[in-house]
Amino acid sequence: MKMQDLAGKIAVITGASSGIGAATVKLLVDEGVHVIMVARRAERLAALAQRFGDKVTVMQADVTDQAEVKALFAAIGERFGGLDLLFNNAGLGVSAKFEQSTAADWKSMIDVNIHGVLNCTQAAIPLLRGRAGAMICSVSSVGGRYGVENWSVYSATKYAVIGFHDALRKELGPDRIRVTVIEPGAVWTEFGENVSEALQNRREQLDALKSEDVAQALVYAFAQPANVLIEEILMRPVLQVAP
Q: Which of the residues 146, 154, 159, 220 is marked catalytic?
A: 154
Angle at 59 between CA 36 and CA 70, to 5 degrees: 95
Cα separation of 114 and 106, whole Å? 11
For residue 76, what is the DSSP state? H
With a CB cutoff of 8 Å and minimum separation 6, the contacts of 156 are none
Determine whether 220 is an active site residue: no
Q: Give the HSE-up count for residue 129: Cα atoms under 13 Å, Cβ half-sphere.
A: 10
Cα separation of 132 and 225, whole Å? 9
Neighbour-count burial of 111, counting CB atoms closer than 10 A to its CB (0-12 exposed, 13-18 middle, 19+ buried): middle
Cα separation of 204 and 102, whole Å? 29
Active site members: 154
